[in-house]
Amino acid sequence: MSLDTPAATPAAPPTATPAATLSGTDPALLDSLTAVFRRVLELAEVPADGNFFLLGGDSLVATRVLSAVARAHGIELTFDDFLVDPTPAGLAERIAGAATAATGIPAAR
C-alpha cells in the first residue's frame, strides 16, 4: 500500500521589511542606520528589520554602531538599548524616543 502525498513545497525565504513600510519611522534616520550597519558589517544590503547579530555582528562591532550613532545623531545609546531590538528599525525607535525624552517634542516621522 502506498500513500500518494503531494511533495512538500519549500518555505519561501523571509522577506525584508522595506524601510518605507515601517510605520512611524523617519526614512532619513532609517537610511542612516542601515548605512552604518552595512559599513560595520561589510555587507552590501541590510534590511530595516535585519538583526545585527544574525547578520554576523558581535558585541565589539556593536560598539562601533553605537559610536557612529552618537556622532551622527548626538544620541548616546547604551549597549542595553541596542540589545532591546538590534535592528536599524529598532535603533531608529530608540533614537526617536531618546530625542522625545530630551526635548519633550516627538521626533519627525
Domain membership of residue 17 (yes or no) is: no
Domain membership of residue 1 (yes or no) is: no
Alpha-carbon distance 49 to 52, whole Å? 9
Domain membership of residue 54 (yes or no) is: yes
Q: Give the residue with greater pLDDT, 41 vs 8.
A: 41
Domain membership of residue 60 (yes or no) is: yes
Q: Over the stretch 62-99, which tens digit does the pLDDT of each residue have?
A: 999 999 999 999 999 999 999 999 999 999 999 987 75
C-alpha cell at 92: 531608529
- Which range marks the domain in which residue 72 is found? 23-103
CB distance 65 to 94 below 8 Å: no
Q: Over the stretch 17-68, which tens digit does the pLDDT of each residue have?
A: 444 445 567 899 999 999 999 999 999 999 999 999 999 999 999 999 999 9
For 12-67, the DSSP string reads PPPPPPPGGGSTT--HHHHHHHHHHHHHHHT-S---TT--TTTTT--HHHHHHHHH
| CATH code, 40 | 1.10.1200.10
Domain membership of residue 16 (yes or no) is: no
Domain membership of residue 69 (yes or no) is: yes
Q: Give the residue with greater pLDDT, 77 vs 108.
A: 77
What is the domain count for the chain? 1
CB distance 99 to 75 below 8 Å: yes
Alpha-carbon distance 69 to 5, whole Å? 53
In this prediction, residue 85 carries a pLDDT of 96
Predicted TM-score of the model (pTM): 0.71
